[in-house]
Amino acid sequence: MRPQVTNSAGGSSSQPSPSAKEITPKERRRVLTGTLMGTVIEWYDFFIYALAANIVLGPLFFAPAGQEFERIVSLVTIGLSFLFRPLGAAIAGRLGDRFGRKPLLVITLIMMGLATTTMGLLPTYEQIGLWAPFLLLALRILQGISAGGEWGGAVLMSVEYAPKGRRGFFGAFPQIGVPTGMLLASAVLAVVNWIAPGQAFYDWGWRIPFLLSLILVVVGLFVRSAVDESPVFNEIAELKSNDKAAGKVNVKPPKLFPKFGIIVMFGILLIAGNGASGYMITGGYIQGMTTRPVDDGGLGYDQVGVQLAVLVAAAVWLISTLTSGWLADKFGRRRVMALGWFVQAAGIIPLFELIKNFGVLGVLVSTSLLAIGLGMTYGPQAVWYAELFPASVRYSGVSISYALGAILGGAFAPTIAELLMNGFGTTWAIVIYLLVMAALGLLGTVMLKETRDIRIDYQFEASGDWDKWNNRELPLSECLVEDEPQQSAPVMAEAATSEPTKL
């Protein structure tokens, strides 16, 4: 039976299936490579900034704040970009739901690369005065806007191209951009610290990782240029083009927050619970705490040793993320993530005690243990987010939920940790904070519905079956995908006239 599409005038019309061709394994591999490259670059850029902010950017750019506050101000700039991610998510969501996923992936990649490379060329406060911190903040804002749209597009491309029963595993590929970017950043920083140790790193060595970002962007653009548009978006565009040719009024996409606000709210908790703990590593807090001199409030550990320890933790995180994506296909999104929160909590409790009492080895063991739980609560997020929203608002819903969750959980986690440490004088205050955030993540997991193998095509939404499922009028068992996803044929330029998502 053909699905019924309700138009804006209230009538319904039977829509034929769009023309399609089979998606080849080669095309899927190309998509996974393209989505992974973008998120690797995004997180490489983030990590090198976070680590530089913990180690050198304070005295180089924020000297007017004084020695007591320059590091805190520097840490605040890590979170600054997150405040602009929702703006980037809103813009990219509107454009991505209207013009497609691929163009936004290219634009956001260029923006991120240019911002990061320019940071490596910035003069310091000593050279140009207050222009230095202002220019640095402007580039951080540009990074935030671009990152706000990058993740959502990468997730949708990987999930919407996935074959039946493998969406969780495919969705984990943009997720492993975090540990892969951390692996790359840690390796580069370890080499730079070896080439330019001590004062040399402070004088010029810190610039090298930022400048290397340009090479990564060129490679990423080459890979992404070979990726075709998402099959789901092609389906949307072709159906709307057919309706227009037939003189029918296109269905207007629903407003995001009035209709899907509950999904957005609990989706935010998933990112927040994972992000608070994750940003102890990715935000550079642990690296900064362990490598700063003792008389500067740190533990005085060897910088290269700490970077290598974090590199091992990143490898553990990568494996855990991919594994959890695969498990989500076998056992469901909610079950895997629920277990992951308890594993994450088990890694949080001994985190700082191991670091303080066992040197660089303690850093390796503690961050690796934490990385197991982080991967379990991060791997299934991409596919779950994508399946929770219908096709016409998917880019907007996924991007905005992620951006707001990153603000709540990750944006200022290093700053909060620093303030808690200064205020209470014990790392156990940080542990309690991280456990509370993990509990919020568990709450979000319990409240969201299971979506394993649910249909994600546009006709599922247009027929009204998505609404019935969302209102619990239709069980998940009657909403499952039956056939492999199909690649819609190229669509006409008229697709660009479809309505943007309203927030």
397-456 pLDDT, tens digit per residue, is 888 898 899 888 877 888 899 899 989 999 999 999 999 999 999 999 999 999 999 999
Rounded CA separation 220/223 (Å): 5
CA distance 277 to 375: 11
Q: Are 178 and 306 in contact (CB under 8 A)?
A: no
Q: How far is CA 486 from CA 29, 158, 164, 286, in A?
A: 15, 14, 11, 45
Q: So what's the pLDDT on residue 257?
A: 81
**The amino acid at 3:** P
Measure the CA–CA gap between 57 and 248, rounded to whole angstroms: 58
Give the CA angle between residues 107, 159, 489 to the nearest 5°.
75
> Do 284 and 47 meet the contact criterion of CB atoms below 8 Å apart?
yes
d(CA 3, CA 17): 9
Q: Rounded distance, CA 217 to CA 38, Å?
A: 8
Using an 8 Å Cβ cutoff, are 273 and 438 in contact? yes
The whole-number pLDDT of residue 386 equals 92
Low-confidence stretches of the chain (pLDDT beneath 70)? 1-21, 68, 236-237, 239-254, 483-503
**Residue 500 pLDDT:** 47
Please report the pLDDT score of residue 110 as a whole number: 87
pLDDT score of 139:
92
Residue 189's alpha-carbon distances to 50, 59, 303, in angstroms, are 12, 19, 9
Give bridge partners of residue 454 from the DSSP assignment.
Answer: 480
Tally of CB atoms within 10 A around 237: 27
Q: What per-residue confidence (pLDDT) applies to 497?
A: 40
* Domains observed in the chain: 21-232+253-490 (1.20.1250.20)
Q: Which helix (H) or strand (E) holds 57?
A: helix 57-61
Q: What's the pLDDT at 491? A: 38
Whether the pTM exceeds 0.75: the reply is yes
Per residue in 372-400, pLDDT tens? Answer: 999 999 999 999 999 999 988 888 888 88
CB atoms inside a 10 Å sphere around CB 370 = 28
Residue type, 474: L
Buried/exposed 127-139: b ≥16 CB within 10 Å, e otherwise: eeeeebbebbeeb
Q: Please give the sequence-ordered ranges of beta strands (E in DSSP) within 235-316, or none if there are none.
A: none
pLDDT of residue 337: 96
Residues 6+ apart with CB under 8 A from 499: 98, 250, 252, 253
By three-state DSSP, how is residue 176 classified?
coil
Which residues, other chains included, contact 311 with Cβ-Cβ below 8 Å and sequence gap of 6+?
Answer: 182, 183, 186, 187, 190
H helix or E strand, kind and range, residue 367? helix 359-378
Amino acid, res. 447: M
Strand intervals (E) in 112-245:
none
- At 489 the pLDDT is 40
Q: Exposure of 285 by Cβ count < 10 A (0-12 exposed, 13-18 middle, 19+ buried)?
A: buried
d(CA 254, CA 264): 14
